[in-house]
A and B are shown apart, each in its own frame.
Chain A
Amino acid sequence: MKPPLPAAKHILRQARVIALCLATLALPLSAPAAPRTPSADAEVLERLPLRPGDTTAREFLQLRQALAKTPADADVANTLAQAYFDQAMAKGDPRYIGYAEAVITPFARTMTADLLLVRGQLRQYRHQFEAALDDFASALRLDPQLAQAHAWRGAIFLVQANYPAAQQSCQALLALERRALAGACNGLLLAYTGQLQAAQSSLQQALTESPAPESQLWLHTRLAEVAQWRGQTAQAEQHFKAALRTGLDDGYLLAAWSDFLLDQQRPAEVLALLASWESSDGLLLRLAEAETLLKLPVAARHVQAIADRFEAARLRGDVTHRAEEARFELRLRGNLQAALALAQANYTVQHEPRDARILLEAALAAKDPGAAQAAVHWLRSSGFQDPRLLVLAQALKPKTP
């Protein structure tokens, strides 16, 4: 039976009295976390993520007030929910996903196409891909012109490695004359099926057609990845830097650029890049990898912090981080079997190149080639061309004399 907390506090207090008697200066041991009563009213306990002067804070406040006035207004609800979702994506803060979902929940029986579009995004964020596909399909039944629903369906099919279905989505975008979205959709499809050069021209074409900074950021990030798969390191770096120049916060971009730097053995640059991004689990993982490579003492503390966060996620039954958790176990903790199990579980849900990569790496480290069969099979059947993955798959092949 676990001793109740007052007991622990009791011990701690006695230990402090003993320390006084021995006239030692202070307890060298740090006190374990335990509930405490602050002594000063002025003690700042929490800094809210949105500062008072922040335009985002004002925008959220106005939208919340508007929705409070007209709670049945689906348009207001939709605007607020979409704003929350965008904030979650920009800052990597999942609380906004929950806020968005709560805004939509009262409309469950009266969903509009726009609300379905937002709910689909929230569901895909939680890796409920089938439910998300259903939402986007329902949205399209209500509004066949809803290009974004096709785009999202295409993106999910790509994650699932369902390339024929993805192709239909890309074609639907073309039929709606959304050339930029269609170009982006097709570009990814071509890339994932190994036609890297064609992918580059498709994405490049989309880049010229969509001047919005958000689109520029997204397309440059994707172009950087394709260049990386083609081994065009300098070009990849140029695209990453162009994406960063938009000045927009984007967790995906920072993760992809950090991975590039880590692959290029440039960990010191990752430190500078991710200075203020420790709050995001995925980015803290990259930061800890860089610190480990540089043998910085702070790495141990960050590794522990990541472990604590994964544990906290596990407690609430959240399994959306498995790919990153696999990477954490493999690269930072050396738990090869745990890493492999996580990478395999992740691969049952997601089949993107990075999912294949962690599975191949984990199987190789654990000397268990059979475990990565699904990824090897995908590499063969898709024709995907990243030399790094092909080398990994080759290394996993049984040696024939």
Chain B
Amino acid sequence: MKKLSHFVLKPLWIMLWSLFILSNPALAHKASDSYLRLDVQGQQITGQWDIALRDIDFAMGLDSNGNGDITWGELRQRQSELSAWALARLTLARGGACSLGVEQLQVDEHTDGHYAVLQLRGQCPSASADLQLAYHLMFEVDALHRGLLRLNLDGSTQTAVLAPESATQNFKAQGGSRLAQFGQYLVEGIWHIWIGFDHILFLLSLLLPAVLVFQHPGWRAVAHFGQALREVLMVVTAFTAAHSITLTLAALRLVELPSRLVESTIALSVVLAAANNLKPVVAHRRWLMAFGFGLIHGFGFASVLADLGLPQGALVLSLLGFNLGVEVGQLAIVAAFLPLAFWLRHSAFYRRGVFVGGSALTLCLAAVWLVERAFNLKLL
């Protein structure tokens, strides 16, 4: 009896032990670091600066009620003071002093606890000069503090450890490898069509019926591959032409639309395209739909490009690169989709599962987006 209880108890104890550990993720003791990520594209600066709450507390006192815990409220209330404190200890210059501001305060977790995340944005006088950086955060109270910098200067990335003895650094401007810049924006374009679910779903909703023809009262499979290819080409070309026009207009700041309107209309376009598959209204000239809504999708791409920042020196080239990237990404999707759809076009799997089921799912998704974007809600 005694033996048995001993035998049973020990594993139980060990199990409880691991539960205890799992529920208490302990944090490391580590020397103080801040993580500074800066993207300097021409005159535009964007960045993110993660500073440990413990460090902020040590330097300027965050625990206002003195209970030993730092809450989001205590941090949030000190946002402007925190921004002033941090920004006074980071200066950037590119052909003269750059402006720098905190756009948003968030939090994140690193190995040694929670950090305040300052989303930075700024502007420099020059788009092509060398970049000077001076960093003095925490040094007056913690001589072992280090700023871990990851700088993307016009497309080339470098890292540096900023210490009291290396607080001021000069970064050489690459001086415009135009080809590298073009390539960089090309990749960005490909990447953004692939992660832009709404653009992909819109395109796919229009392409799903390309291997079918609508003849009242239902859909029939096309006879020849050429028929499907022609339909796809028309849709894709119309979509491309339309969004290229508006992307260019928006990127050059010739036309500007409020982003909520743009994003909501994009969601609406997906709803309509998917609904059209379930209950066809436009059955034959889908390229018109592609063109019409393509215009609004172009504004969507432009907002992505605005976030990236366009180098003033190579504006047209970068724009061209980005747009081409979008087309390449799009063509890759088409190339994967079309042969498969053509091959499967007679099957129930395609007709009911992919075409009807996929369209219904897309409709539902896009409807959620539409409500979210139009009413500025977060349903999830």
Q: Which residues of A contact B (CB under 8 A)?
A: 1-7, 10-11, 13-14, 16-22, 33-38, 40-52, 91-95, 97-99, 101-102, 105, 126, 268, 271, 275, 278-281, 284, 294, 296-298, 301, 305, 308-309, 312-313, 315-318
Contact = CB atoms under 8 A, between A and B. Distances in A.
A47 B112 CA distance: 11
Contact of B108 (A6, A33, A279): A33
A26 to B, nearest CB: 10
B14 A268 contact: yes
Given A45-B71, A279-B29, 4 more contacts: A46-B69, A101-B143, A271-B14, A315-B148
B365 A21 contact: yes
A305 B22 CA distance: 12
Contacts of B188: 1
B28 interface: yes
A17 to B, nearest CB: 5
Given A41-B71, A41-B72, A315-B148, A21 B361 contact: yes
Interface stretch (B191-199, B212-220, B236-244): B191-199
Contacts of B70: 44-48
Contact of A278 (B26, B58, B144): B26
A50 B68 contact: yes
A52 B140 contact: no
Contacts of B18: 296-298
Given A98-B143, A317-B161, A48 B57 contact: yes
Nearest to A7: B195
Given A21-B368, A38-B72, A50-B68, A312 B110 contact: yes
A281 to B, nearest CB: 6
B148 A316 contact: yes
A315 B195 contact: no
B66 interface: yes
B113 interface: yes
Interface stretch (B30-38, B88-96, B171-179): B30-38
B347 interface: no
B379 interface: yes
Nearest to A91: B29
30 contacts: A1-B155, A1-B187, A3-B195, A7-B191, A16-B380, A17-B365, A21-B361, A35-B119, A37-B107, A40-B72, A41-B71, A42-B72, A44-B69, A44-B71, A46-B114, A47-B70, A50-B68, A95-B55, A95-B142, A98-B143, A98-B145, A102-B140, A102-B143, A280-B29, A296-B14, A298-B18, A298-B22, A309-B111, A312-B30, A316-B31
Contact of A316 (B33, B76, B364): B33
B69 A47 contact: yes
B144 A271 contact: no
A93 B117 CA distance: 23
Contact of A305 (B10, B68, B111): B111
A93 B10 CA distance: 33
Secondary structure class of chain B's binding surface, majority of residues: mixed
A22 B362 CA distance: 11
B81 interface: no
A251 to B, nearest CB: 10
Given A21-B368, A36-B108, A50-B68, A97 B144 contact: yes
Interface string B200-231: 00000000000000000000000000000000
B72 A45 contact: yes
B106 A35 contact: yes
Interface string B54-74: 110110000100111111110
A50 B109 CA distance: 20
B17 interface: yes
**Most chain B beta carbons < 10 A, residue from A11, A16, A37:** A37
B29 A95 contact: yes
By Cβ-Cβ distance, the 4 closest A-B pairs, closest first, are: A41-B73, A98-B144, A278-B26, A101-B143
B182 interface: no
Interface residues of B, number: 75
B170 to A, nearest CB: 19
B184 interface: yes
A315 B50 CA distance: 15
A52 B66 contact: yes
B108 A34 contact: yes
Contact of B63 (A13, A48, A101, A278): A48
A318 B29 CA distance: 14
A271 B17 contact: yes
Contacts of A13: 380
A35 B117 contact: yes
Contacts of B76: 41
Interface centre among A45, A51, A93, A312 (most CB of B within 10 A): A45
A284 B52 CA distance: 21
Nearest to A93: B29
Contacts of B141: 99, 102
B75 interface: yes
Contact of B142 (A37, A102, A309): A102
Contacts of B31: 94-95, 97-98, 313, 316, 318
A45 B114 contact: yes
A284 to B, nearest CB: 8
Given A42-B71, A46-B114, A52-B67, A95 B369 contact: no
B132 to A, nearest CB: 22
A7 B188 CA distance: 11
A47 B113 CA distance: 9
A45 B14 contact: no
B144 A313 contact: no
A280 B31 CA distance: 11
Given A35-B48, A102-B139, A281 B71 contact: no
A5 B48 contact: yes
A267 to B, nearest CB: 10
Contacts of A40: 72
A35 B308 contact: no
Given A10-B195, A99-B141, A45 B53 contact: yes
Contacts of B369: 17
A20 B143 contact: no
A6 B308 CA distance: 11
A18 B198 CA distance: 12
A268 B14 CA distance: 8
Of the listed residues A2, A33, A35, A102, the one surrounded by the most CB atoms of chain B closer than 10 A to its CB is A35
B12 interface: no
Contacts of B50: 35
Contacts of A318: 31
B282 interface: no
B146 interface: yes
B194 to A, nearest CB: 10
B201 to A, nearest CB: 10
Q: Chain B CB within 10 Å — which of A92, A97, A296, A312 has the most?
A: A312
